[in-house]
Amino acid sequence: MTFFRLRSFAAAAVCVSASLALAQRPYKVVDQWKVGGTGGWDYLLADSPAHLLYLTHGTRVEVLDTKTGKPVGAITGLKGTHGVALDPDGKTGYISDGGANQVVLFDRKSFATLGTVPAGTNPDGIAYEPVTQTVWAFNGRSKNVTVINPGGRSVVATIALPGKPEFPQADGNGAMFVNVEDKNSIVKLDAKTNKIVATWPVAGCEAPSGLALDKEHARLFAVCDGNKMAVVDSHTGKVLALAAIGDGPDATAYDAKEQIAFSSNGDGTLTVVDAGHGYKPVQTLQTKKGARTMAYDAQTGRVYLVTAEFGPKPEATPANPRPRPSVLPDSFEVLVVSR
C-alpha cells in the first residue's frame, strides 16, 4: 500500500471519527437567558478569558456573564450599534455605532465610554488588526473602511471598497478579509499598506454576510443567501466547496479544535458543517426564528445566538418593499448551544 493511499485512509478515518463523535454528542440548546428591553440587534461577541458576552442591542451594548447569564453592565448613550471588537490589551473595546457614523471606545472594566472617532456612513462590521494595532470599521452605506489608530483616536486611512461590506476577519498576519454583499465577492486588504490586494468573486454565493476563518488551513467560510456556505482558499480565493445550510444566514463561526463551522440561520436553525473533510452538514439544530447572528466561545465550545418574539409583519410598500416584523418588547433573549 502506498503512502498516499495510507494518508487517504487516515483522512477518511478522521472524518468518520469526527462525524461519529458529533452523532454521539450532538449540539443542543442548553439554556435561554432573558435580556429584555426594546429595539433590534446585530452582532455579538464572546470574550472567553473574561467570561463575558457583548450583545449589540439598539442604542446600547449589553454585557452578560457567560457563567451565569446575568447582566453585568452596559455601554449606553449610543445611536444604533452593530458590532464590537476587543483590543488585546484587555482594557479597551470598540463599538461600531452605525446610527452616529462613529466608532466608540469603551473601558472593559467599568464599561464607561472613553471617546469616539468619526467613521464613514453606517459603520457595521468591525475588527481589530493586531500587526498594525489598528481598528477597522467597515461602512455599509459609504462602501468603504475607516482605519483607526486607537491610541491617537485618529483616522489613519479610508479605503474605498467595490461594494457594501459585511463581516470582516483579520488573519493575524497583516491581512484583512471582508465579504462584499452586493458584489458576491470577498476582498483581501493589506493592513500595512492600507490597500486592496485582491477581489475574489465567490461563485455560487449570493449576498455573502457572515465570515469565519480557519487560519491553520487557510480557509474562509462565507454564509450566503440560497442556503449555501462557501468555503474559500484564503491564499488564492478559489471556491473549494459549497456546503448546504439553513435559510437566511447572517453569521458563521469556526471551531479550530473540532474543525467545525457553524451557520446561524434566520429560519430558526443552526447548521453544523464538518470543516475538516468534505464540508458536509452533520447536524441541523432547531433554534428559534430570527436567531441569525451568533458568537462562538472557544474556551467553552459554546455557541451563543440572539433573537426575540415578533409581531405581525407590515404590508410591503414602494418605500419599504421588504418590511421586517416588529420586535415585541422585553422578549430579547440569548440561546446557549453546547454539546
Enter the pTM of the model: 0.92
Pairing of strands 52-57, 60-65: antiparallel
pLDDT-based confidence at residue 20 (cuts at 50, 70, 90): low
Question: Which set of grid coordinates corresponds to residue 190?
Answer: 493589506
- Residues 69, 266: Cα–Cα separation, whole Å: 23
Instruction: Give the separation between CA 264 and CA 246, rounded to whole angstroms.
Output: 8
Mean pLDDT throughout 86-107?
98
Q: Could you tell me the CATH superfamily of domain 43-309?
A: YVTN repeat-like/Quinoprotein amine dehydrogenase (2.130.10.10)
Domain ranges across the chain:
43-309
Residue type, 147: V
What pLDDT sits at residue 103? 98
Residue 225 is classified by DSSP as B
> Exposed, middle or buried: residue 86 (CB in 10 Å: 0-12, 13-18, 19+)?
buried
CB 100 within 8 A of CB 78: yes
224 strand-pairing partners: 228
CA gap 44, 338 in Å, rounded: 17
Question: What are the tens digits of pLDDT across the range 232-291?
Answer: 999 999 999 999 999 999 999 999 999 999 999 999 999 999 998 899 999 999 999 999
Percentage of residues in the chain having pLDDT higher than 90:
87
Distance CA 278, CA 263 (A): 16
- Closest CA relative to residue 191, chosen from 173, 209, 174: 174
Q: Looking at this protein, which amino acid is placed at residue 171?
A: D
Q: How far apart are the first and last CA of the chain?
A: 38
**Candidate from 17-26, 101-110, 234-243 with smallest mean pLDDT:** 17-26
Continuous segment of H or E residues that includes residue 123: strand 123-129
Q: Tell me the three cell numbers of residue 240.
A: 473549494
